[in-house]
Amino acid sequence: MTIPNDFWQPTWLGGTVSIAMGENVGFHWFVNSVTGDSTFPGKSWLKPLATIDQAVDKAAAGDVIYVAPVHVENLAADSAIDIDVAGVSVVGVRRGRLMPTLTNTHADGDCKLAAAGVSVRNLRFLGGVDIGTGIITVSGADCAILDCEYRDSVGQATDVILTVDGSDRLLIDGFHCFGAAGAGGNSAIAVDGSDDIEIRSFYLHGNFAVGAIDFRTTLSARVNVHSGKIWTRNAADIAIVDTITSSTGFIGPDIQIMLTDDAANITTAVTGATFQLMDPVYVCNAVDEKGLLINWTASTHA
C-alpha cells in the first residue's frame, strides 16, 4: 500500500476525524504500528508510538489518543490493551472502510475500558480464535463505545462486548457485529450490572445461542435499548433477553429483528418480564415476509 507523505502530517487526519488542536482539554498522542516505535515521543504522526497501550501509559485525564487507519495489533493476552487512565479517549482515524484493526489471538485476549469516563471510537475488532469472551470488556463507569465493529475472521467470539458489574451509564452507539451464521456465539453484547446503560444505532448479526443482547448475572436497572437491527441465526430465536430476570428499562422504539425459524416465536424474540417495550419493535421470522409488530400485552387506560 502506498500512503501519501502528507497523510502522516499532524495537521491532517482525514476520514471522519477533524482536529482543531485547541478543542481538547488535554494532550494529543499518536499511534501507528507501521511507522511507530516505543522510543518515539508519540506527539505527532511523524514520531508516533507503536501500540495503544504505550500511549495510554503516557496519557492523563482529558488526553486523546489518535490511532492510524493502517494500525494493527493483536489481543494476545488478558488486558492486552488496558485503558486504565480515567478520562482518556482512543480515536481511530478512518479512511472509508479502512480503520485500526485489533485481532483477538487468544481466548483471554481483550481490550479493557478499565477506568471511569474512557471511550473508544472507530476501532475494528477481529475474531482470530474461538471462544473469546469479552473481547471488549468494560468495568469503568461512564464509558463509551462509539462507532466500533466486530467481525468474525478465523474464530468466533462467545461474547463480544462484556460489561462488568458497576459499569454504569455506559453508552454503546453505532456498534456493528458481523458474526458468523454457524454455531459458537452466545451474545454480541453481554450486560452484567450496568445501570442506565444505553445501546443505540446498532446492527448485530450472528448465531446467538442466548441472545444478541443478554442481560445477565446482576440486574441492570433503567436500561435503554433502541434504534437498531438484530439478525439471529440460532434456533433459540431470541434477540434480547434478561437471563437474570429482574433487569428494568426500555426496549424500543425503532428495533427490527430477524429470526431463524418460521414458528410461534414473535412474542419471545424479546424476553424480559420486568422490561417495558416501546413500539415500534418489528419481528420477522421468514423470508419473503414483512415484519410484524411484536405482540406484547398493551397497556390499558384502566
The domain segmentation of the chain, as residue ranges, is: 170-179+197-302
Q: Are residues 93 and 64 in contact, defined by beta-carbon separation less than 8 angstroms?
A: no
Residue 262 sits at the vertex; the CA angle it makes with 179 and 274, to the nearest 5 degrees, is 70
Bridge partners, residue 30, by sequence = 66
What pLDDT is attached to residue 24?
Answer: 66
How many other CB atoms sit within 10 Å of the CB of residue 269?
A: 25
What pLDDT is attached to residue 130?
Answer: 75
Tens-of-pLDDT digits for all 302 residues of the chain? 444 434 444 444 444 444 445 456 799 999 999 999 999 999 999 999 999 999 999 999 999 999 999 999 999 999 999 999 999 999 999 999 999 999 999 989 999 999 999 999 999 999 878 777 899 999 999 999 999 999 998 878 899 999 999 999 999 999 999 998 887 789 999 999 999 999 999 999 999 999 999 999 999 999 999 999 999 999 999 999 999 999 999 999 999 999 999 999 999 999 999 999 999 999 999 999 999 999 999 999 98
Return the closest-CA partner of residue 61 out of 44, 31, 85: 85
CA distance 91 to 70: 13
Helix (H) or strand (E) holding 55: helix 52-58
Reduced to 3 DSSP states, what percent helix, strand and coil does the chain have, rounded to the nearest 5? 5, 35, 60
